[in-house]
Amino acid sequence: MAAESAFERLLIRRLMELYPGAVILKNDANNLQGFPDRTILWRDRWACLEVKASGSSPHQPNQDYYVDLLNHMSYSSFVYPSNLKDVLHGLQLSFRAQRPTRLLER
């Protein structure tokens, strides 16, 4: 668990460097079991990340469900040290995405 919490601190520092002014929330596992650990709010975008110590760390019940569901809504992923660069890239692409204007015109 110590490795996961140390990685989570590093992740938060990195996110704050990349997205100044972002609000990073720690979600309560007791509130909605399996919901990702962190929600990132930046400008008019959001994402959720489930932090793991490694790619082989076990997934708790419902974690795969929520990561997949939220990824279809915006961006969500499992993140661990060996995939950090890929996740940050995916987050960057998601945060850059433009909203379709035709949906806003309705």
Name the one residue in this structure whose structure tokens are 């490694």.
Answer: 54
Q: What residue numbers bound the domain in which 90 lies?
A: 2-104
pLDDT of residue 72: 96
- With a pLDDT cut of 90, the percent of the chain lying above it is 85
pLDDT of residue 29: 85
Res. 97: pLDDT tops 80: no
The tally of domains found in the chain comes to 1
3, HSE (Cβ side, Cα atoms, 13 Å): 8
CA distances from 99 to 4, 7, 89 (A): 34, 32, 19
> What's the CA angle centered on 90, arms 60 and 72, to 5 degrees?
60
| pTM, rounded to two decimals | 0.88
46-87 pLDDT tens trace: 999 999 999 999 999 999 999 999 999 999 999 999 999 999
pLDDT of residue 102: 52
CATH code of the domain in which 49 resides: 3.40.1350.10
